[in-house]
Structure 1
């Protein structure tokens, strides 16, 4: 790297850190030093930028090559912006990409947006000497940051895509932090077994795979996204194994989460936009004004207790659809009216969940019971007759996933 580029990247990292601190996101001193020292430009040497608008098919992309002088300024800004960096289409080889326009395909690997990475690593409370396991590390940005804190040969990632394994390991070796990536099914934990003090999953899962819990050391912490079939209201699960060997887990709603594991079916409201716009539905009075976006405890409960719903966050007013039932609800006009369409009264279900959430004390966190050796994973807001409860769904069989699903008692009707 030339001296001029090195100075430029140092300035970009400093500005990135300054922004994270100003926003109140970054508070950990060790992680701050890692963010200043880990060269993101080595781990993210290229980036795809979407050119076409949402809903346009085939998607039009432009590949930025960080080594090309015409792309360098835009590329540097992007990889230090805190936004997710798109790296791979349809599992393609990463050693012979050509810069410029390209059409079609879907992204199969990307870096996590910066704020989420910082929040996750801070939640894990990283410290020197800890054994760190990352499940689905992708290009290895968070793995490199963790290795910078824990020390050499203590941080390892498990990645299913052999091409991404080779890509990430090559770039990590250039940095020289002693982090490694091995090929394997992340749902099975580290293929060689062992125990780890900190486990972080970069993929969303419907329940915690038994192998993850088995590989969590006493005093250890495990962090993952719990995903339903809606991308709208993800949950973040933090599990800790006590020194006595028991696992205590808490689930909280979050504004964003990691993408689900390969083959997981996500609901999508975008194809319904023309129909909703043409016929938003019949207006009726409602006792529920549109709940605020940051009522995460409510929206998380709705993801499980009113399953099959997805929100269109680009709509002018709150719009929530049930694609499989060709039904939707559009809030307004005003706070005491809603328009509903289709055989499923989407808004009535949300009214019911909200009323139960209020009676339960408006919880923003839920306790998760994870039996040793596997078994149904139960969620509860507390104790008593007004407690909100449900059971996490299983790991569904999907392509290239050979791990046995978690046994479960999940039902589609509302839990009592």
Structure 2
């Protein structure tokens, strides 16, 4: 039996797709080989799902960013997979390791013109995307999917990871919650064509989906600063839940794995990560872009430093710094390590030899990092932290362990965002 040819969404072109299934199948196989070669993909069931789920049905087009980092307004170009001039680039992109950008500023998705985005429509920011495949694979493996398990996905977007989960868990076991009506309808239509028995519900992901609770596995495709109580309440005994804990800096997130024992006890482990899911709508990341020119013009007063440049993979330290030296963000576009406190007009620029640092502004940003690093060293250089979710209430405490040298902090509340639809 030959796979059903993928039909074009209602975009500008309606070109035949007779050449797509064969090419897409080969590209899926290449994707799986890459994921196995770098050690990301280890689960046999998920491997089979990656080979079978037709990404070209779920991702029929994609935005490509034409302008560089920090350039505003952003120049976009839309690839239409139904158009022969776009097809090769589109197929390569949707089977790459990149995140696939699909929706700007909550726009309707049923009449997007291909090509450069010009005139008044230029600019805007992405409000929905498909997360890069390696990150999705790592997340789905971390929750340990299996046949017959009830699966809830929060902020499902176009439904790629939901389709993979549905393939593993089986028909009728996977449901996704999506806040945006346009994206929910888009994903539902495309998932129905794959006939996997997955369900899309339009609603507030912060509330989960009580109608089908409890769930054996919960996966959040959105970052949150604080774990919603509904998510914990809807996790079944023996269940596993994974989410990104969004900090104010995009480069220092945490990954939170929550488990509920068969006896009902909730345990949560937080680990620093180099990347994470984008935060919920309304959550504002800090950015160094607006201060970049000022930093270049006046790097600050030079002094010696007792802190060698912490390595990028010291994720346990950087995660702690996000909470214990709040309001800082790293400028990864700078030539040397540059840490900025944008709300305070302060920054620190490490010298090229790592022995000196230049500091500027009302905060000595580097001194704060030196203090956090010393505390992290005394605590035993922790990579993971425990989060207390026992009461499912507003206060959620984080600790690296017991004893006077342990690191401690409290997660910020959802606050006014708690009623924000996702």
With the shorter chain as reference, the TM-score category is over 0.9
- The alignment status of 1:40 with 2:59, answered yes or no, reads no
Query: Where does residue 163 of structure 2 map in the other structure?
Result: 144
Contact in 2 for aligned 1:262/1:399 (Cα 8 Å):
no
- The alignment status of 1:366 with 2:385, answered yes or no, reads yes
Describe the SS at the equivalent of 2:57: helix
Query: Where does residue 70 of structure 1 map in the other structure?
Result: 85
- The alignment status of 1:132 with 2:151, answered yes or no, reads yes
In the TM superposition, what is the alpha-carbon distance from 1:191 to its structure 2 partner? 4.7
- The alignment status of 1:349 with 2:368, answered yes or no, reads yes
| Equivalent of 1:29 in 22, 28, 44 | 44
In the TM superposition, what is the alpha-carbon distance from 1:398 to its structure 2 partner? 3.3
Deviations 1:128-151 (A, max 9, x none): 000000000000000000000000
Describe the SS at the equivalent of 2:347: strand
Q: Distance in 2 between matches of 1:342 and 1:127?
A: 53
In the TM superposition, what is the alpha-carbon distance from 1:355 to its structure 2 partner? 0.2
| Equivalent of 1:215 in 234, 243, 253 | 234
| Equivalent of 2:291 in 266, 272, 278 | 272
Alignment coverage as a number of residue pairs: 403
Query: Where does residue 247 of structure 2 map in the other structure?
Result: 228
Contact in 1 for aligned 2:223/2:243 (Cα 8 Å):
yes
Contact in 1 for aligned 2:64/2:78 (Cα 8 Å):
yes
Query: Where does residue 391 of structure 1 map in the other structure?
Result: 410
Contact in 2 for aligned 1:263/1:399 (Cα 8 Å):
no
**What is the correspondence of 1:102-251 to structure 2 with a 5 Å cutoff?**
102=117, 103-192=122-211, 194-251=213-270
Q: Distance in 2 between matches of 1:21 and 1:346?
A: 41
In the TM superposition, what is the alpha-carbon distance from 1:101 to its structure 2 partner? 0.7
| Equivalent of 1:4 in 15, 19, 33 | 19
Residues 50-59 or 109-118, more deviating: 50-59
Describe the SS at the equivalent of 1:174: helix
Q: Distance in 2 between matches of 1:374 and 1:226?
A: 16
**What is the correspondence of 1:318-329 to structure 2 with a 5 Å cutoff?**
318-329=337-348
Query: Where does residue 50 of structure 1 map in the other structure?
Result: 65
Change (3 A) 1:332 1:235: same
In the TM superposition, what is the alpha-carbon distance from 1:164 to its structure 2 partner? 0.5
Query: Where does residue 13 of structure 2 map in the other structure?
Result: none
Q: Distance in 1 between matches of 2:70 and 2:269?
A: 36
Describe the SS at the equivalent of 1:251: strand
In the TM superposition, what is the alpha-carbon distance from 1:328 to its structure 2 partner? 0.3
Q: TM-score, normalised by structure 1?
A: 0.95
Q: Distance in 2 between matches of 1:376 and 1:402?
A: 22
Change (3 A) 1:373 1:399: closer
RMSD: 1.2
What 5-or-longer segments of structure 1 have no aligned partner? Answer: 404-416
Describe the SS at the equivalent of 2:251: coil
| Equivalent of 2:308 in 279, 285, 289 | 289
Q: Which runs of 4+ in 1 moved over 3 A?
A: none
Deviations 1:377-415 (A, max 9, x none): 111101000000011110031396279xxxxxxxxxxxx
Contact in 1 for aligned 2:225/2:411 (Cα 8 Å):
yes
Contact in 1 for aligned 2:206/2:418 (Cα 8 Å):
no
In the TM superposition, what is the alpha-carbon distance from 1:363 to its structure 2 partner? 0.3
Q: TM-score, normalised by structure 2?
A: 0.94
Query: Where does residue 307 of structure 1 map in the other structure?
Result: 326
Q: Distance in 2 between matches of 1:71 and 1:7?
A: 17
Query: Where does residue 407 of structure 1 map in the other structure?
Result: none
Describe the SS at the equivalent of 1:325: coil
Q: Distance in 1 between matches of 2:136 and 2:213?
A: 25
Query: Where does residue 406 of structure 1 map in the other structure?
Result: none
Q: Distance in 2 between matches of 1:59 and 1:377?
A: 38
Query: Where does residue 408 of structure 1 map in the other structure?
Result: none
| Equivalent of 2:95 in 66, 72, 80 | 80
Describe the SS at the equivalent of 1:297: helix
In the TM superposition, what is the alpha-carbon distance from 1:5 to its structure 2 partner? 1.8
- The alignment status of 1:330 with 2:349, answered yes or no, reads yes
